[in-house]
Amino acid sequence: MINLDTVYALLSEEESPILEFKRDWYWNDQSTAMEMSRQWGELQKDIISLCNGYPSKCGIDRYLIIGFSETEKKIYSVDTTNIKKLKDIRSLKKDLLAKLVKTAIQPILNLELETVILDGKALIVFKIPSPTDLTELRNTLQTKTTTVPAGVVLVRKGQDEDSVSVASPQEIIDLKTEFSAFKVIKDNEKPKADVKKDRSIKSTVELYIDKNRSLSIEKDYPIERRDWTDNVLFELYKISDQFKSSKYFLYIHENATQNKTYEYIQKNSLLAPETPLIILTERPTDLKDLDRRKSNLRTRFKTDFVYFIDEFGYKNLYSEHMLEYIPYRPENYVEGIADVAGEGKRTALEQLKSWHNAISNPLMVIKGYGGIGKTTLVKQFLDYVYDTRTDTGILFIDSNEISDELVRIARSDHKIDDIYDFYLAQMKKEEFDGKGFSKDLLRLSVDNGNLLIVLDGIDEVIAKLGSQFDITSFITSISTSYSTNLERAKVIITCRDYFWDTLQDQIKVEEITLEPFNEKLAETFFAKYFVNDASKIAKAMHMAAEFRLSEKSEDSDLIYIPYVLDMVAYLIKQRAEFGDDEIHHSKKAKLLSSKIPNDFLVLSVCEREVKKLGSFDIDDQVDFLINLSLTETKYVTDYNIKDLSSKNIDDLTIIKLKAHPLLHFSNNKLLFRYDFFYEYFKGLHVYDYYITRDTQKLTKQFIELAGVYLRYGNQFCETICKKMFFSEELVLLTLESIESLKEQALECDSAFKASIDAAISSMFMLLISVFRETGEAKFDSSSCTDLLKNVFGEKELSGVVLMNILSCDSKRPVFDFRNLTIKNSHFERYDYFWDCQIDEDTRFHNSFFSQLSPRKDLKPIFFDNTFSDDCLLNDMLETINQRKDEENAQSDKLNENLRRLFELFNKRGNFYPQKQEYIRSKIFTGKLLPTLLKNGVIEDYLDPKKPTFRQFRVSQEFRGLMKFIDQGTRCIELDRVIKMF
């Protein structure tokens, strides 16, 4: 199909080896027979030379456009009334292809030919998909001016750069090489179905009627035509108004041939004269002059009311519902680096721009740990959209702001599973003067690309709502409900990486992972912050070096966390402005270590504040900050600031706390200056438990926090591990903690039981992690199993919980379950379950298994009695059944190969010796023979009568296998042989 917008774009280009323009058709009805013959040859010459083009043009579609003057840049409508052959384009194409078959070797047979109407004028357009072979003349070709001999290759480059000439030997070699390479690419491409995307304006019309209550759709409408052969593609609605006259809404599909569609509508009298006509169509993605498509439709259908679907929706349906957007203009913004899944590292902002311009790609996830700059990147991108897209509304939703409202929605037995739930929660926070979106209107505005939605920090919702937030359905709905028609939907989610990675097997969407800054970016950041003050930049870089990530990372130059740079800059600027003393760290703190960069930063800041806060020392500050991090609202007001401290603090201290460098006070709310600290101080809360060794601190809040945040291999867990050492006391504390959690589980509801299970797994995996980092013994399956037995039992393990342990680390926590009985246990999203060793004596009883798909290329090993009937296998049944099917297939194959092998010894109803050379010559015996020889099933044999022959024979002990060979039935000897394998 020839795209109208593509043709228009081509008219602005110059002629080339793959593009030719002609003002007039080759002949008319007054041409003589001789002239007609030569002009047919001229047409074939142009088509064949375009097929070959010229070296470097392979893989690009070719076009021949009749009715356009290249020199005048003007369209001359082709007069089809004076050329009989052009009245039937199909017949013309058929005749042309027949002639090409006779004229050329490897002629192009899938060319397209259409009449295209531009500005009310007719063009004849040939489209030639790039060939994969050279087109060579089979017979002599007589053209308008010359005779071209058979056997030559015509190309389109001569002295005038686009004239037709005979290819040189080198040009032929180059073309053959390029076509051959292109053919390989085409052959290796995964075949794609010719997707003919049906679209509709049904929702647009219905919502237009909802807004204008006096309107209704007349009976027998809509009238639809979806003829993909002739590309007559439209949808027609007639709308009646009880106060005014009727009007039509006509949808013209982006792939419709406008001329044929218009002729069909006129021929069938589908439009009543003098009735207003509104035309809606898709916005082109690759047309520079967007109004060109509308201009052609206005001319062809004789109406002034032509709109792009999204344009009509924005102006007439939902612009009044858009919330005001004020640009953020982030200060000191430095564009960071992102790891784009499958594509390597790219600049983050450019990746977002590329995604935003793509069709049928509704969701982008920006992930990374706290402080890496996810929100800052999004805000910079939203400002770009605001500056460049005047018809795009922007809705930024801070999950933290609306999480309480979402909880209230969820409590009304409503599972959160749709963007509209977030919108409603946001509207509760807004003083919006006017009616908000309905669910259908929100979906239409997003689908049309008129509303860009950002859900910032969705991990807050995941952590707070748990199972009441159906994240899988939520993500699925974005594609199934918000990107179904125009497919222009754009939704951005930011999320901590370890929350999102938990969902990676269930949800496949485009995602980027923000990376730390390298040294150059860090310098750029400080240069902007200090306005190129070299002294302060050097000082900041020296201080920032204290907080670098490990230089042993894969990308050793990506070692600076943006939030740390911001804090360093802030401290230097504050010191310069207020003349504070140099930062030192002579004092110690219970939970902070100066050897850990983040601790060093907090220690430095808090030490400086001791002078201001008087008796409020470092530990008191840390205690206060921990309590702030644990608040559900993530902030406190003037009325409850005192509640966060175990000390009696006066009003003056409260005033000073509001100015703490780590905090920010605004609108009567005291909160952290950076989101990173909410997680950081939660980590100190967990660490404090292990310092105090008090199981009475296993509160509901601590249990939920540990279960959600403390995961094997994530940054939260790794930071705590750096402060701890493996010891028998740690093993004992873990054992006591888990026993206490099990006791609480006996008296709680099922929802909190799930949190306890997660906490048991987290605390055990923290023990494993600390052992891995500081244990003297080797970290392997044996050492992990020893710890498992220490905590959950020796010969018989009970209450084992292994949850949310993802395959994200080279040091795998794997256990040896051989000869063990495991009862009342829980295994869920433990990626290494099938790596664990299992034998015939392994028994699982009354245990729960879920989301334990084996890693790629890993074959699960289990036995008939591995899982008892009282186990809940859930989705693991598919893995078990699949593996059983594979084992059955392998068993059948083994039986068949054994039968074939023993058949080699079968003569006259008995086993006879056979030459070793003969037995070994059979390919299928290669894998079987060593085992059979080792176990004495087959043995070496020396025949006294033939002492020079090296022979094998079936041993006397296994001669009963003859029953299997003769009758095909099982026998004890066969069972013994199979067991050997």
Residue 788 has pLDDT above 90, yes or no: yes
DSSP conformation class of 532: T
Residue 549 has pLDDT above 80, yes or no: no
Residue 243 has pLDDT above 80, yes or no: no
Range with the largest mean pLDDT of 79-83, 162-166, 338-342, 396-400: 396-400
Position 221 scores a pLDDT of: 93
Position 886 scores a pLDDT of: 65
HEC per residue, 594-653 = CCCHHHHHHHHHHHHHHHHHCCCCHHHHHHHHHHHHCCCCCCECCCCHHHHCCCCCCHHH
Position 430 scores a pLDDT of: 73
Residue 706 has pLDDT above 50, yes or no: yes
Position 452 scores a pLDDT of: 94
Range with the largest mean pLDDT of 321-325, 428-432, 756-760: 756-760
169 C-beta neighbours (distance < 10 Å), count: 8
Predicted confidence band of residue 551 (pLDDT cuts 50, 70, 90): very low
Residue 608 has pLDDT above 90, yes or no: no
Position 845 scores a pLDDT of: 95
Residue 879 has pLDDT above 50, yes or no: yes
**Residues 935, 919: contact at Cβ < 8 Å?**
no
Rounded-to-10 torsion of CA 127, 130, 136, 142:
20
Position 159 scores a pLDDT of: 44
E strand or H helix at 726, and its extent? none
Range with the largest mean pLDDT of 567-581, 882-896, 916-930: 916-930
Position 771 scores a pLDDT of: 94
CA-based max dimension of the chain: 116
Range with the largest mean pLDDT of 275-279, 418-422, 436-440: 275-279
Q: What is the mean pLDDT of residues 680-705?
A: 93
Q: What is the mean pLDDT of residues 414-424?
A: 86
Residue 102 has pLDDT above 90, yes or no: no
Residue 148 has pLDDT above 80, yes or no: yes
Q: What is the mean pLDDT of residues 26-53?
A: 88
The CA distance from 242 to 245, in Å, is: 8
DSSP conformation class of 2: -
**Residues 711, 830: contact at Cβ < 8 Å?**
no
Predicted confidence band of residue 193 (pLDDT cuts 50, 70, 90): very low
Predicted confidence band of residue 57 (pLDDT cuts 50, 70, 90): confident
DSSP letter string, 858-892: ------TTSB-TT-B-TTHHHHHHHHHHHHHHHHH
**Residues 925, 919: contact at Cβ < 8 Å?**
yes
Predicted confidence band of residue 223 (pLDDT cuts 50, 70, 90): very high
144 or 501, which is more confident: 144
Predicted confidence band of residue 560 (pLDDT cuts 50, 70, 90): confident
Position 808 scores a pLDDT of: 65
Residue 314 has pLDDT above 60, yes or no: yes
Q: What is the mean pLDDT of residues 81-109?
A: 84
Integer Rg of the chain from CA: 38
Range with the largest mean pLDDT of 252-256, 583-587, 683-687: 683-687
Lowest mean pLDDT among 34-38, 333-337, 402-406, 826-830: 402-406
Q: Output the average pLDDT for the chain.
A: 85
Residue 735 has pLDDT above 50, yes or no: yes
Residue 190 has pLDDT above 70, yes or no: no
**Residues 530, 540: contact at Cβ < 8 Å?**
yes
3-state SS assignment for residue 45: helix
Those residues with Cβ within 8 angstroms of residue 170's Cβ, 6 or more apart along the chain or in another chain: none
**Burial class (CB within 10 angstroms; exposed 0-12, middle 13-18, buried 19+) of 902:** buried
Position 507 scores a pLDDT of: 58
DSSP conformation class of 347: E
Position 197 scores a pLDDT of: 77
419, amino acid identity = I
The CA distance from 927 to 922, in Å, is: 11
Position 582 scores a pLDDT of: 45
The CA distance from 704 to 154, in Å, is: 75
How much of the chain exceeds pLDDT 70, in percent? 92
Predicted confidence band of residue 790 (pLDDT cuts 50, 70, 90): very high
Q: Where are the alpha helices (DSSP H) in 921-981?
A: 929-934, 962-967, 972-979
Q: What is the pLDDT of residues 159-184, one digit of tens each?
A: 454 578 888 888 888 888 888 888 87
Residue 196 has pLDDT above 70, yes or no: no
Q: What is the mean pLDDT of residues 622-627?
A: 95
Range with the largest mean pLDDT of 336-340, 520-524, 575-579: 520-524
Q: What is the mean pLDDT of residues 624-649?
A: 90
The CA distance from 912 to 536, in Å, is: 94
Q: What is the mean pLDDT of residues 530-546?
A: 87
Q: What is the mean pLDDT of residues 844-863?
A: 85
Residue 553 has pLDDT above 50, yes or no: no
Would you give the distance in Å from CA 273 to the centre of its chain? 51
Q: What is the mean pLDDT of residues 942-962?
A: 86
Lowest mean pLDDT among 122-126, 412-416, 925-929: 412-416
Lowest mean pLDDT among 31-40, 471-480, 835-844: 471-480
Q: Which of 391, 528, 374, 518 is nearest to 454 (CA)?
A: 374
